[in-house]
Amino acid sequence: MHVLVVNAGSSSLRVDLVDPGSGARAAGARVERIGAAARVLWGGEEGAAADLPDHAAALRAVLPRLVEASRPVAVGHRVVHGGERFSAPVLVDAAVEAAIEALAPLAPLHNPANLAGIRAARALLPDVPHVAVFDTAFHATLPRRARTYALPLERAERHGIRRFGFHGTSHAFVARRAAEWLGEDLRDLRLVTLHLGNGCSAAAVEYGRSVETSMGLTPLEGLVMGTRGGDVDPGALLALARAEGLDLDGLDDLLNRESGLAGLSGIGNDLRDIEERAAAGDDRCRLALSVSAHRIRKYVGAYAAVMGGMDALVFTAGIGENSARVRHQVAQRLEFLGARLDEDANRDARVTPERPVVLVSEPHSRVRILVVKTDEERAIAEEAVRAAGRRDRVEAGRIPIAVSARHVHLTQEAVEALFGAGHTLTVHKPISQPGQFASEEKVTLVGPRRSIEGVRVLGPTRRACQVEISRTDEFHLGLDAPVRDSGDVANSPGIALEGPAGRLVLREGVICARRHVHMAPGDAARLGVADRDVVEVAVESEGRDLVFGDVLVRVSPDFVLEMHVDTDEANAAELVPGTAGSLAPSGRHGRLVRRQTRYDPAEALTPPRLGEKIPG
């Protein structure tokens, strides 16, 4: 099977017929300078001139020949900006087109062109499902602290000013490929992925979710790029504007087209030319390379700190895959993180479709350093098949919602340290999950800033201590707790616990529990999900449903069906009926909306049936 992948630029069009299982291209075409002296290029052939005034004409010129090679089962469209609305690929209909059009102010050079390609392709292939795949979607999991600018909040919210991130399709693709090569589940890894091309970005991928990325509201923020400077003090821009009389258009040209490697080197943005001139002694070119590598290295260290460490560092895209010098310079001084570059392997590294991942770290390096070949067209094709085949579909069913207040899990040794030798937990009342209970015992949480008294201990005892709090509790205590799955306490902050018989200092163990749904295998089969799936859940209300995203599914024969949210989330959804215990039913229900497919293996892809009625 093949997917037609459409990437429409402002005056260009790239169309590939891609096998999503292997990434092989059955055919491809490029159209340049649409609306002017257009040229059509087929593979490696010389371009032929054509009169193509718009994207519709360009698609009409190339589609017949492409479709002759293979009838596509779906059409995948790259869309640069999905805003806050689109956190995953979506089947295109009139409402989706309107939403993409409404997001044009956030990506004025890209979204209108992307939309033109969608409309033209839908008109020419009306019986094939069309799927929009958004560059920003992978970064929809950025926590509030990472996506928020320190600007007046009311103004920022009024105009939608926040960090979105880009290159998400590539970051997600290479993160999956790295995990597959390492033989690990992506949801068990902390990765820093570096997409280094003419446009550059870094991402912190913690347990399968993007939790930080270098680009922001626009692709201008972050790393040094071909013609974009990345992070710049806004005061420097104000000073330049005043000194040179630049208006907003002048600043736009300066930031987007005259800065970065081109501005520093003075010879353009091609890294190969810059490296050649630097080797010949050109000081400006040497400075350009040094500034760029320094910036990347700074982000790698920062992202390792954000995640509490990293398991692998991934280089990808044109520069990341092909420049041994850039990889060498970035990896310098990362030994303190456990990342040790093998210089010989780095110099010899070549990634190809047949060998898409190469290890370039030393055998004893704790952090693996990988070069991974990205393939955004294949990634779009995979996502299109998943969405068109409705692999995100879930079955209807009501899910009880319970509010999980702050609570503590203890080991038996901790119980005795806090309540006395030989003490065992006393059942206060059972809670919803079989065998678990709220105990009579309570402790005081002592943070760097304040304390919280009367925090309930849940039983039975566990193999490790864990303290689950809300963001409000976190601020009150003076801690910075990560959002984690229950039981994942590595590199989390510690805290002091006080009980009637003593005081216990935990070196780690404080988390904000990730929202999750417990269910038995029968419930999972009925709802069409599996253990560790990630889903969206709509909370039933009299008005518009509130949808919780990034909800983890946990399946076990020992569980009963119930979704757990913390008190902050419950307040936001107006769920709390006066929660006094550690876990209280809210009296409200949710329903599954859809499941994420990013963790599905590529070999599980199944094509949609042509002509099938696609549900809205």
Residue 378 structure tokens: 């294949």
Parallel, antiparallel, or unpaired for β 510-513 and 483-484? parallel
Residue 1 structure tokens: 């099977």
> How far apart, in whole angstroms, are the C-alpha atoms of residue 407 and residue 160?
36
> How far apart, in whole angstroms, are the C-alpha atoms of residue 466 and residue 457?
10
Active site residue 252: no
In angstroms, the Cα distances linking 381 to 138, 178, 386, 551 are 16, 19, 9, 25
CB 20 within 8 A of CB 387: no
Listed in order, strand segments (DSSP E) in 121-233 are: 130-134, 190-196, 200-206, 209-213
Residue of 22, 14, 130, 129 lying closest to 66 (CA atoms): 14
Q: How many CB atoms lie within 10 A of CB 601?
A: 9
> How far apart, in whole angstroms, are the C-alpha atoms of residue 235 and residue 195?
28
- What is the arrangement of strands in the sheet containing 190-196, beginning at the earlier edge strand? 209-213, 200-206, 190-196, 312-316, 368-372, 357-359
Report which residue type is found at 50: A
Dihedral in degrees, nearest 10, Cα atoms 263, 266, 271, 277: -150
CB 88 within 8 A of CB 596: yes
Q: Which helix (H) or strand (E) holds 236?
A: helix 234-244
Phi-psi region of 439 (alpha: psi -120 to 50; beta: other; left: phi over 0): beta
Q: Of 16, 135, 375, 473, which is the active-site residue?
A: 135
Positions marked catalytic: 135
